[in-house]
């Protein structure tokens, strides 16, 4: 039984008490601002993301959803004009602390993009890439971990006889599941999905959605989606962003039936965006 304790839009608004246990907060954003040159794309976001849950980010195009996601694994570091201020804490450690190595961070926080982007290499090499990067070269260990990752992304049966074929020869949905396997191989604690199904057909989309639902038993999932039905299907929590601000975050069922803010209601009922 979920018991809402707070319905304001503060950082604690998606806090849900399950019995007497406080849910574990995996990611905490505090006062996050992101600038591209002089343009402020994220204007002070505070949010708590709960461990082993799926949080969907919705909102009109350009409101800062992808930018916010990229703060969590410091992918914004790769954009020269981009500057992030504020704190992103994972297990209470600020990922922007100069002692944090982005390569290690990105193994812990995997990312899957809109367009399936396998390397022009074999399925096996794609999935083992992150492991090799971390110095794992033992053949048996690599084979075991690649199989585990492919099974984890529900694609093992389809590719087990094609491990040495180019990943580019697969269908779009299969390529996306290989990309998810590549992210899973390093056993991440957090997975970021940036519109992972927008280039896929409905059947491939359904497979990815099913997979996300399974993954949340082990991993904390954040997903950006422009598809509100998808947010409603796969997420436990939904965050609505507008013009660089986090308008509201709450249990998905609450956001879609009884949002606290008019702007959220207008968006989910299709009045703008």
Place of tokens 């694994």: 73
- If DSSP codes are grouped into helix, strand and coil, which group holds residue 12? coil
Quick one: which of 63, 111, 249, 255 contacts ligand ADP (CB under 6 A)? 63
Residues 94-123 that bind ligand ADP (CB under 6 A): none
How near is the Cβ of 69 to ligand ADP at its closest, in Å?
8
Query: What are the backbone dihedrals phi and psi of residue 45, each rounded to the nearest 5 degrees, phi first?
Result: -100, 130
* By CB under 6 A, residue 41 contacts ligand ADP: yes
C-alpha distance across the termini of the chain, in Å: 33
Min CB(247)–ligand ADP separation in Å: 13
Closest CA to 55 of 205, 183, 208, 234: 234
Q: Where are the beta strands (DSSP E) in 6-91?
A: 16-18, 25-36, 39-50, 54-58, 82-90
**78 forms part of the interface with ligand ADP (CB under 6 A):** no
Q: Which residues are CB-contacts of 101 (< 8 A; sequence separation ≥ 6)? A: none
From CA 222, how far away is CA 266, in angstroms rounded?
23
Q: Give the C-alpha separation, 52 to 178, whole Å.
A: 22
Q: Does 181 bind ligand ADP (CB under 6 A)?
A: no
| Shortest Cβ 131–ligand ADP spacing (Å) | 29
Q: Does 83 bind ligand ADP (CB under 6 A)?
A: no
- List the one residue from 18, 62, 103, 257 that touches ligand ADP (CB under 6 A): 62
Q: Which is nearer to ligand ADP, 81 or 143 (CB)?
A: 81
Q: By CB under 6 A, is residue 65 in contact with ligand ADP?
A: yes
Q: Which is nearer to ligand ADP, 54 or 149 (CB)?
A: 54
Q: How far is the CB of 164 from ligand ADP (least distance, A)?
A: 36
Cα gap 89→97, rounded to integer Å: 10
Q: Does 228 bind ligand ADP (CB under 6 A)?
A: no
Nearer to ligand ADP, 60 or 102 (CB): 60
Return d(Cα 245, Cα 223) in angstroms, integer. Answer: 17
| Member of 61, 78, 140, 217 binding ligand ADP (CB under 6 A) | 61
3-class SS of residue 257: helix
**Backbone φ and ψ of 194, nearest 5°:** -105, 95
> Which of 35, 36, 119, 156 touches ligand ADP (CB under 6 A)?
36
Q: Which residues bind ligand ADP (CB under 6 A)?
A: 36, 41, 59, 61-67, 79, 81, 224
């Amino acid at each position: 039984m979920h018991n809402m304790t707070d319905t304001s839009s503060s950082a604690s608004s998606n806090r849900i008490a399950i019995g007497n246990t406080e849910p574990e907060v995996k990611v905490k954003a505090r006062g996050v601002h992101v600038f591209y040159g002089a343009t402020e794309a994220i204007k002070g976001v505070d949010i708590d993301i709960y461990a082993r849950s799926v949080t969907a980010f919705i909102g009109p195009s350009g409101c800062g959803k992808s930018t916010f996601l990229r703060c969590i694994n410091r992918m914004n570091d790769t954009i020269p004009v981009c500057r992030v201020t504020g704190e992103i804490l994972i297990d209470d450690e600020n990922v922007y602390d100069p002692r944090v190595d982005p390569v290690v961070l990105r193994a812990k926080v995997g990312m899957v993009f809109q367009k399936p982007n396998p390397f022009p290499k074999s399925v096996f090499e794609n999935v083992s890439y992150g492991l090799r990067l971390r110095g794992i070269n033992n053949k048996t260990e690599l084979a075991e971990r690649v199989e585990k990752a492919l099974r984890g992304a529900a694609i093992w049966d389809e590719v087990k006889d094609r491990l040495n074929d180019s990943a580019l020869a697969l269908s779009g949905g299969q390529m996306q599941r290989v990309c998810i396997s590549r992210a899973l191989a390093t056993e991440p604690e957090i997975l970021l999905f940036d519109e992972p199904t927008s280039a896929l057909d409905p059947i491939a989309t359904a497979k990815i959605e099913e997979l996300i639902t399974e993954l949340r038993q082990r991993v904390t999932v954040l997903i950006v989606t422009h598809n509100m039905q998808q947010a409603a299907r796969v997420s436990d929590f939904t965050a609505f962003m507008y013009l660089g601000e986090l308008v509201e975050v709450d249990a998905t069922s609450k956001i879609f039936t009884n949002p606290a803010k008019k702007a959220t209601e207008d968006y989910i009922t299709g009045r703008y965006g």
